[in-house]
A and B are shown apart, each in its own frame.
Chain A
């Protein structure tokens, strides 16, 4: 890409209005798919399960694997363990607990919660959405933060880049082709 296009790429990827800490995160990809005995580095086993569950509601299995199969739960755990400073990771940790409690997630099925999540998502991206005061819990802002992580993690994972979407081939470029010449959006 052109000089400075890397910045632009990041800006556009994140929609331009996202906190700086997430920026470099999206350069990252995902680790191998979760194994049963995987031990999270930062999250508690229960929270790790919960992240996987929420991630798969945002990006489910369809004709291609979803977020959990792509390792997005591990991706988020790794970011919290090694990318974010401890204070920010701890903040995420407590917000996840607050989110869990607010929606009583332990006692609700995925199907049941998905309906609530759709409403939450609509409100979180509505025109009148206002970010909360720094440090205070807000379910809309937490959902946005989590969704950004899930989406960036999924589409930089091997499954997201190669199975769900397509990686650009190496070879001569064709910079102005009909959309119909290309099967799906490029992942990179």
Chain B
């Protein structure tokens, strides 16, 4: 292969999504000439939002993705809740980007610059002191090398930039943040909040904390409640790398953003014990180019970053760069979900809403917080997301009635429904891992990733309680036709899209890849700040924590660069 070499940068960021966008912004604002690489296609604020605000009847193919196409090209991606004709182009084609499922695992991947920050659910919850202490307390997983006080100022910092709406609640297990005005609850949510708290004083329902503006912030407009953030937001009201962090990086004049750039591996300079740069394959031309920099940030998503690092082999690191510990690729964890509850109410038919709220409600963790909430059957805990709405007109297809009477009845909103969806913490286990295939490669000649992960006993014990707790809360609200289901089969690992842990942080270089500043123990100018760095999963949606860790790591790295330490 003909290898081209290019100019030197101060920094290289691999990946341009939630973590990469923040790394780019921080590095560029600190004056570093930064190359940002993404394997996806070019994607720009505004012009790339081709399905934004399109009604069902305006979509070129009427919203549907033919069943055969789903099966042939999107066998895995089509299981994502928001996959449809309006969002299909945001996902990779599984048929073009294969990986090997040693056990069933849904690897959900974005197809464009900005990564999955376009399609995230915008839920934004801080981790708490008890989350950073959890591994040490119960002995599962390595001890986190940081505590809440280390990250707290960085949560403040990134939240002020991202814009997070939410309600201050004063809970130790779910610290409050720098919130914009909370979104409003529906009549049924207000009722459920009161009912649940009356029956279970230690359980609280709060409005979801989400990265959607309810007030103007830095020139970004408040949300206009179209309800379809993932199609792109021309008013920049919801936070994505495409609309917010990458433009901030670009505004400095220090960023070079390059799409269609698949990082093959990290170049290691054995003489100086440093990462020298990266080898990049142009996805369109197959040409390989080397780029060099003083510091490298890996933000290619948990599995993407890990695949690149495992593929970066040399005599010093025969099993992948910065992997003297042998734990690179191990402790792969995703939140377990699929305990879903629903119920209906006819008691609030005189109430309705105006606007499609891009957010729901949240019931924070209430188990294993202290001796009063201690469980003997499992460790850690779970939380619920949920929402309410009145049934829409297509309920008419599932009930008796035809003719003018049918049309008439559907002019009235249907009954209220409430749903709850459990999200549980998953214990980090060594055997849940990914590794490179010895003989299968992709179309660019990169070894395919083998993924092997499943749920453990602790998760199954927790799920019983998740289902029972959901049932009793729905009962306490007086709903009718309550159903609690365990959809474990559908919710195989990966589908919560909160995968973490394969290059974990830790205090001991023998059992972890990264130190307290996301710096590789083995390679001082190599940083990993996406989900791969996470030492445990907690139960909160993780994006804001990735961003806080990223900003903190950049601050550390740039100071170290200036002082000559790296």
Contact = CB atoms under 8 A, between A and B. Distances in A.
Interface of A: 1-9, 12-18, 21, 24-31, 57-60, 62, 64, 75, 78-79, 82-85, 114, 117-118, 121-122, 124-126, 144, 147-152, 155-158, 160-161, 164-165, 167-182, 184-188
Given A8-B419, A28-B85, 12 more contacts: A2-B386, A3-B81, A27-B86, A57-B402, A62-B404, A147-B396, A148-B398, A156-B62, A173-B356, A175-B353, A176-B186, A185-B392
Interface stretch (B147-155, B218-226, B465-473, B524-532): B218-226
A122 B403 CA distance: 13
Contact of B402 (A58, A160, A181): A58
B59 interface: yes
A60 B403 contact: yes
Interface string B106-124: 0000000000000001110
B374 interface: no
Contacts of A149: 397
Given A151-B397, A168-B355, A175-B185, A185 B410 contact: yes
Nearest to B352: A179
B562 interface: no
A109 B190 CA distance: 52
B63 A29 contact: yes
B64 A175 contact: no
Interface stretch (B8-16, B30-38, B65-73, B553-561): B65-73
B398 A161 contact: no
B360 interface: yes
A92 B342 CA distance: 32
B84 interface: yes
B3 interface: no
Interface of B: 53, 55-59, 61-68, 70, 81-82, 84-86, 121-123, 183-187, 189-190, 208, 222-228, 342, 349-360, 385-387, 389-404, 406-408, 410-414, 417, 419, 421
Contacts of B406: 58-59, 151
13 contacts: A1-B227, A4-B81, A14-B397, A26-B394, A28-B62, A30-B57, A59-B407, A148-B398, A156-B394, A171-B355, A177-B353, A178-B351, A179-B352
Contacts of A8: 342, 387, 389, 417, 419
A1 B186 CA distance: 13
A146 B161 CA distance: 51
Contacts of A21: 67
Which 4 pairs show the lowest CB-CB distances between chains A and B? A15-B398, A3-B121, A173-B355, A29-B57
A9 B357 CA distance: 13
A92 B315 CA distance: 63
B355 A172 contact: yes
A114 B404 CA distance: 12
